[in-house]
Amino acid sequence: MIEPDGRAVSYAELARDADRYGRGLQAVGLRPGSTVATLLPNGTAALAVYFAALQTGLYVVPVNWHLVGAEIAYILSDCGAEAFVAHERFAAARGRGGGHGRRDGPVRGRPGAGVRAAGHAGR
């Protein structure tokens, strides 16, 4: 796979990232049947998180990065996401959507991505 910046990523690297994300999602309490929402740019991180979700039995709700904070907050609430994985460049949009989460933290080994364990606001 080729990243938007032109860097080649092997399947082994993609699988390693997916395994790491999967462990991270499990570490924040997600179990088979849980929902994770993502707000990621096109690239291997988005694919690795998707693969991680499939491997760990999670439902994935990709969120379009063109949406504004209130729209993102609505989707997170409506889908019942228990975790939210976002690239740091979208932090401002998430922040304008209101506080639906319990904690934030980086995913080890992937600069610019974070896992947020989201509450069930509005449910």
For the chain, the structural domain boundaries read 11-118
Q: Which CATH architecture describes the domain 11-118?
A: 3-Layer(aba) Sandwich (3.40)
pLDDT in tens, 1-30: 889 889 999 999 999 999 999 999 999 999
Residue 120 has pLDDT above 50, yes or no: no
Contacts of 4-10 spanning 24+ positions with Cβ under 8 A: 4/41, 4/42, 4/43, 9/44
Strands 101-106 and 59-62: unpaired
pLDDT in tens, 43-86: 999 999 999 999 999 999 999 999 999 999 999 999 999 999 99
Retrieve residue 26's tokens.
């499990």
DSSP codes of every residue in 13-60: HHHHHHHHHHHHHHHTT--TT-EEEEE--SSHHHHHHHHHHHHTT-EE
pTM for the predicted model, two decimal places: 0.74
